[in-house]
């Protein structure tokens, strides 16, 4: 929900900007994590995990009414989940991490002070010692200054990666969102909003803010990048055909070999893709249309878009899936309301 509000100037034209999925690291396939709205007004949303076959659903967060916990991202070892919690009324977001059983919640947005309006969309580094995220620094008119940051996994030592020299004065034609780590940990993929073009494109960048490179053309309106575990592909969501239709596209990190793997009919739209840890499958959210009938479910498919099947099929809108690694230790039920 936070990112919809942040890119409001673009949403009117694009027909909505949905949240991201988290990065995937190499390993054996484990549980899929996602966000589910708990009421019709979508003012309360919780994080759940589920097996890829659609069994053994478990609730991780239990937010109060008026709060949405969303954008979950598995740590590389599968022990922690990073996410952001949004207060619906103020649209202010803050970052947290929590154990996979719902215990030991920790606050990570201690450096969001002063003019900082919110932190959202966390992504673990491949080593698990850092987290990338997007920060809304200020709002001027309809354009928000949003930049990518990297911090330690305990929430300290946050530093800006993009828009380093940009201040809150004046207008801000570009916003950077939804960073995801390359498997080698040396580059990030990010989504850039161009308010003038009213389009999105995916870029890659080094951690020191140099080497910014656009890998998708503005015309395909690409967003929500996710690296494959071997680093050879980046999955993005594209609205090239129309503002009301969305598909998943794979592209090489250098921008070559772009290929669409889904073919949405009518007003169906794919969102939020995430590779499986073994790199052989993709999980994504699909909305089949508009209105109540368009509530999204989580799916699993091959990396070529074949063998698609439901993981969830409930009434509420479900999205932001991230595919986690398999763990041998026994999982417990959630302990605390959040």
pTM: 0.89
Q: What number is the average pLDDT over the span 104-118? A: 94
Q: Domain spanning 2-325: which CATH class is it, in words?
A: mainly beta
Quick one: how far is CA 336 from the chain centroid? Answer: 24
Q: State residue 163's pLDDT score.
A: 94
pLDDT band at 25 (very low <50, low <70, confident <90, very high): low
Scanning the chain, the segments in alpha helix (DSSP H) are: 2-6, 8-14
DSSP annotation string for 29-73: EEEEEEEEE-STTS--EEEEEE-TTS-S-EE---PPTTEEEEEEE
Average pLDDT over residues 292-301: 84
- ∠ CA 244-308-57, nearest 5°, is 95
Span 140-183, pLDDT tens digits: 666 788 999 999 999 999 999 999 988 887 778 899 999 999 99
Buried b vs exposed e over 83-97: b needs ≥16 C-beta within 10 Å? bbbbbbeeebbbbbb
Domain range summary for the chain, segments of one domain joined by +: 2-325
The residue assigned the tokens 């932190």 is 119
pLDDT in the model for residue 2: 39
pLDDT of 28 > 80? The answer is yes
Please report the pLDDT score of residue 11 as a whole number. 36
Alpha-carbon distance of 294 to 313, in angstroms, equals 12
Per residue in 37-90, pLDDT tens? Answer: 999 899 999 999 999 999 999 999 999 999 999 999 999 999 999 999 999 999
On whether the CB atoms of residues 46 and 28 are closer than 8 A, the answer is no
pLDDT attached to residue 329: 53
Distance from C-alpha of 182 to C-alpha of 180, rounded to nearest angstrom: 7
* Residue 338, pLDDT score: 45
Query: Cα separation of 253 and 74, whole Å?
Result: 22
pLDDT above 80 for 242: no
The alpha carbon torsion through 5, 81, 59, 103 (nearest 10 deg) reads: -120
């Amino acid at each position: 929900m936070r990112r919809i509000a942040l890119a409001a100037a673009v949403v009117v034209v694009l027909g909505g900007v949905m949240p991201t999925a988290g990065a995937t690291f190499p390993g054996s396939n484990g549980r899929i994590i996602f966000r589910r709205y708990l009421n019709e007004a979508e003012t309360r949303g919780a994080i759940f995990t589920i097996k890829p076959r659609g069994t053994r659903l478990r609730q991780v967060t239990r937010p109060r009414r008026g709060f949405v916990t969303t954008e979950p991202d598995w740590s590389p070892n599968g022990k922690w989940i990073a996410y952001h919690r949004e207060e619906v009324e103020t649209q202010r977001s803050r970052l947290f991490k929590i154990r996979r059983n719902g215990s030991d919640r920790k606050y990570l947005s201690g450096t969001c002070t002063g003019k900082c309006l919110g932190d959202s969309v966390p992504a673990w580094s491949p080593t698990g010692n850092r987290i990338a995220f997007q920060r809304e620094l200020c709002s001027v008119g309809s354009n928000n200054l949003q930049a990518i940051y990297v911090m330690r996994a305990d929430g300290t030592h946050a530093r800006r990666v993009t828009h380093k020299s940009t201040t809150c004065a004046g207008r801000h034609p570009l916003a950077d969102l939804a960073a995801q780590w390359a498997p080698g940990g040396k580059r990030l993929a990010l989504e850039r909003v161009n308010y003038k073009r009213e389009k999105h494109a995916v870029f890659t960048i080094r951690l020191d803010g140099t080497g910014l490179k656009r890998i998708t053309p503005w015309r395909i309106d690409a967003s929500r990048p996710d690296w494959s575990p071997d680093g050879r592909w980046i999955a993005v969501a594209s609205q090239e055909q129309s503002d009301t239709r969305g598909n998943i596209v794979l592209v090489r990190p250098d921008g070559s070999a772009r290929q669409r793997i889904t073919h949405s009919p009518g007003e169906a739209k794919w969102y939020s893709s995430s590779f499986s840890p073994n790199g052989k499958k993709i999980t994504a959210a699909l909305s089949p249309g508009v209105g109540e009938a368009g509530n999204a479910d989580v799916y699993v498919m091959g990396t070529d878009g074949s063998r698609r099947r439901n993981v969830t099929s409930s009434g509420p809108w479900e999205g932001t899936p991230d595919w986690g690694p398999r763990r041998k230790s026994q999982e417990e039920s959630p302990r605390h309301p959040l």
